[in-house]
Structures are given as C-alpha cells and as structure tokens.
Amino acid sequence: MIRGGRAALAVALLTGCAAVPHATPEDAARAAGSWPGISVADLEAGRSRYVARCTSCHRARSPARYPPDRWGAHLDKMAERARLSPDDRDLILRYLVTLAGRPATP
C-alpha cells in the first residue's frame, strides 16, 4: 500500500501534476460569479484539456503562476500554437482563471 502511494506520488511529481490542481466545489462556486451555472465537471474538463493540449512544448505552468487577468493574453498567444478550438480555449481559460483566483492559503 505504502509502495503504491509512493509510486503514485513519484508519478505525480514527475509529470508535474502537483502544479495543476484539481477543481473543487469552492472553485466552482467562485467561478459561477463570472460564468453562471459552471460546475466542477466543467472546470475539470478545462483542466484535462489544459494538460492534454498545453504540455507538448513545455511543462504545464501552475494556474497560480499568473494573476487571473493575465491568463487571457497568454492563452490568446498559445491557442494558436496549440491549435485550440474556441470551445477548448473557453474551457481552459475558465479553469486557469478560476484556479488562479483561489484565495491565498493562510
């Protein structure tokens, strides 16, 4: 059991997953202020698109690396490189902006 846990942690660290947090109900509640009706599943869909489409040239940057209002410009530039569909761009943007806007942990 402990071994399995360590292996999973090692995989998470190697693939940089720790930098790409999963969305929570609190995230969805905050995001609904900007996108009414948005769900955890919507944010998680954005997360998986982000991991799938934005890591072929460089590692995934943590959403917290930039303030929420900076992600739009980065994504506009990278959407072309990643050949994102408008739907994927929206999903990824909502995920990044929402997670970047998490309140600082005390």
Q: Give the footprint of ligand HEC on this chain (CB under 6 A).
A: 53-54, 56-58, 61, 74-75, 78-79, 81-82, 84, 92
CA distance 79 to 89: 7
Between 10 and 52, name the residue whose CB sits nearer to ligand HEC: 52
Closest CB to ligand HEC among residues 56, 105: 56
d(CA 2, CA 78): 39
Rounded to a whole number of angstroms, the minimum distance from the CB of residue 48 to ligand HEC is 12
Backbone torsions φ then ψ of 61, nearest 5 degrees: -80, 145
CB of 82 to ligand HEC, least distance (A): 4
Q: 20, exposed or middle or buried, with CB in 10 Å at 0-12, 13-18, 19+?
A: buried
Closest CB 68 distance from ligand HEC, rounded Å: 13
Closest separation between CB of residue 21 and ligand HEC, Å? 15
How many helices and strands (H and E) does the chain possess? 5, 0
Q: 8 or 48: whose CB is closer to ligand HEC?
A: 48
